[in-house]
Amino acid sequence: MNTRHMFIIGMVFPFVLFVLVPAGCSSGEKDYARNRERMVVGQIAARGVHDARVIAAMRKVPRHRFVPPELRSAAYADSPLPIGSGQTISQPYIVALMTESLGLTGGGKVLEIGTGSGYQAAVLAEIVDTVYTIEILSELAERARAILDTLGYRNIHVRAGDGYFGWPEKAPFDGVIVTAAAPRIPEPLIAQLKVGGRIVIPVGDYEQDLEIYKKTAAGLELLSTVPVRFVPMKGKIRESN
Ligand code: SAH
């Protein structure tokens, strides 16, 4: 990039941000909105996530509200962040990629395993009618429920428990997303997915691949894989049978 290009970007970028940041919010909120816009452009769209619904959701959900207060200034950085209890909120790009991988077309319902902070659930709730999300650590489930409630998400249902078993009363789902790494796909989650729907799950131990499958009448069809790093899925999936 030559000096002239840098000059043009230097002139245009602040203007773009100025136009995009809504008027009338406090200076702190303005900073968050500006950082969020930078995140969408520089981390998500730049790496090839183009689904308009996903981009709109990532633009809207206030990620800083889902991280511990002392980490708010880093909420829009290109990395995962600790959320307490040894768990993490995923990197923004990974949240966008996983959401796009579900191939959602609006409406319907999605099951998430691993609520964590509740951020991924909020992104999904901007796209589908209803999100069911399960978190094994009750303190995280409670915290996520409280923040989602404060932000006005009435279409997200949080349950504390082992996501291995899914949420059979609400099945079948249009999509299933697992945000903790499992040695294999829990059988009940496959059973609770609609034919034509997708399941997105990090599989592996230290070396993990995000696996994206479509359910067909004949079974699961692997669409693609991406190397990732997630915290381990706990509970029933770790028992040998
Ligand atoms: N989606 C989250 C990030 C999740 S980190 C977010 O947007 O913030 C993975 C989460 O999965 C952790 O909170 C962990 O406690 C939870 N988890 C691990 N094993 C689980 C299981 N068997 N059932 C439900 N949640 C589980």
Q: Which atom of ligand 1 is nearest to the CA of 119?
A: 7
Residue 41 has pLDDT above 70, yes or no: yes
**Considering only CA atoms, which residue is closest to atom 14 of ligand 1?**
114
Rounded to two decimals, the pTM is: 0.90
**Considering only CA atoms, which residue is closest to atom 2 of ligand 1?**
116
Active site residues: 90
**If you measure from the C-alpha of residue 136 to the centroid of ligand 1, how many angstroms do you get, rounded to a whole number?**
7
- pLDDT for the residue numbered 179: 98
- Partnered with residue 89 across adjacent β-strands are 81
The Cβ-side half-sphere exposure at 140, using a 13 Å CA radius, reads: 24
pLDDT tens digit sequence for 85-107: 999 999 999 999 999 999 999 89
Confidence of residue 29 (pLDDT cuts 50, 70, 90): confident
Mean pLDDT, the chain, rounded, equals: 92
Beta strands in the chain (DSSP E): 81-84, 87-89, 109-113, 130-135, 156-160, 173-178, 193-204, 208-216, 219-228
**If you measure from the C-alpha of residue 177 to the centroid of ligand 1, how many angstroms do you get, rounded to a whole number?**
11
Query: What's the CA gap between 97 and 49, in Å, rounded?
Result: 6
Identify the residue whose tokens are 């990090």: 202
H-helix or E-strand spanning residue 49: none
